[in-house]
Copies of this chain bind each other. A is one copy, B any other.
Amino acid sequence: MSKKLIGVDLGGTTIKFAILTAEGEIQQKWSVETNVLDEGSHIVPDIIESINHHLDLFGMTPDQFIGIGMGTPGTVDIENGTVEAAFNLNWKEKQELKKQIEEGTGMKFAVDNDANVAALGERWKGAGENDNEVTFVTLGTGVGGGVITNGEMVHGAGAGGEIGHVNVEPGGFLCTCGNKGCLETYASATGVVRVARHMAEEFAGNSELKQMLDNGEEISSKLVFDLAKADDVLAKLVVDKVCYYLGLACANIGSLLNPSFIVIGGGVSAAGSFLLDQVDAYFKKYAFPSVKKTTVLKLAELGNDAGVIGAASLALKFNN
* Contact string against B for A residues 173-212, beta-carbon threshold 8 Å, 1 for contact and 0 otherwise: 0000111010000000000000000000000000000000
Q: Which 8 A-B pairs have the closest CB atoms?
A: A156-B258, A157-B294, A165-B288, A160-B258, A159-B290, A150-B152, A165-B255, A162-B255
Question: Are B166 and A252 in touch, CB under 8 angstroms?
Answer: yes
Question: Are A288 and B162 in touch, CB under 8 angstroms?
Answer: yes
Bound CA–CA A295/B154 (angstroms): 14
Bound CA–CA A290/B251 (angstroms): 24
Question: Are B133 and A156 in touch, CB under 8 angstroms?
Answer: yes
Q: Which A residues lie at the B interface, using CB under 8 A?
A: 75, 133, 147, 149-150, 152, 154-163, 165-167, 170, 177-179, 181, 248, 251-253, 255-260, 285-291, 294-295
User: Which chain B residues lie closer than 8 Å to A150 at the CB level?
Assistant: 149-150, 152, 154
How far does the Cβ of A13 sit from chain B's closest Cβ, in whole Å? 25
Beta-carbon nearest neighbor of A286 in chain B:
B167
User: Which chain B residues lie closer than 8 Å to A260 at the CB level?
Assistant: 156-157
User: Which chain B residues lie closer than 8 Å to A165 at the CB level?
Assistant: 255, 287-288, 291
User: Which chain B residues lie closer than 8 Å to A75 at the CB level?
Assistant: 290
How far does the Cβ of A191 sit from chain B's closest Cβ, in whole Å? 16
Bound CA–CA A149/B259 (angstroms): 14
How far does the Cβ of A41 sit from chain B's closest Cβ, in whole Å? 26
Question: Are A159 and B291 in touch, CB under 8 angstroms?
Answer: yes
Of the candidates B154, B255, B289, which one forms a contact with A166 in the assembled complex, judged by CB atoms under 8 Å apart?
B255
A286 and B157 in contact, given A147-B257, A149-B152 (Cβ under 8 angstroms): no
How far does the Cβ of A150 sit from chain B's closest Cβ, in whole Å? 4
Bound CA–CA A155/B157 (angstroms): 20
User: Which chain B residues lie closer than 8 Å to A163 at the CB level?
Assistant: 255-256
How far does the Cβ of A119 sit from chain B's closest Cβ, in whole Å? 13
In this complex, the member of A75, A163, A178, A288 whose beta carbon has the largest number of chain B beta carbons within 10 angstroms is A288
User: Which chain B residues lie closer than 8 Å to A160 at the CB level?
Assistant: 133, 149, 256-258
